[in-house]
Amino acid sequence: MAIFKPAHLSEKRSARRYEAIVIGGSAGSYDPIQIILSSLHQHFACPIMVVMHLNRNQDGTIANDLNKQCKIEVKENIERKHPAPGVVYFAPANYHLLIEKDKTLALSTAPPVNFSRPSIDELFETAAEAYGPNLMGILLSGANSDGCRGLKKIKDRGGFSIVQDPADAKINYMPKKSLELTQVDLVLPPKQIGFFLNKAIGVGKLLRKKV
Any idea which residues carry the catalytic annotation? 26, 53, 146
Q: Cβ neighbours of residue 102 under 8 Å, at least 6 residues apart?
A: 130
DSSP H helices, the chain, are: 11-14, 30-38, 61-69, 120-131, 148-156, 173-181, 190-201
Q: Where are the beta strands (DSSP E) in 76-159?
A: 87-90, 96-99, 105-108, 135-139
Among 102, 98, 77, 99, residue whose Cα is nearest residue 87: 77
Inter-residue contact 162 to 137 (CB < 8 Å): yes
Compute the chain's Rg from CA coordinates: 15
| Phi and psi at residue 172, to the nearest 5° | -95, 5
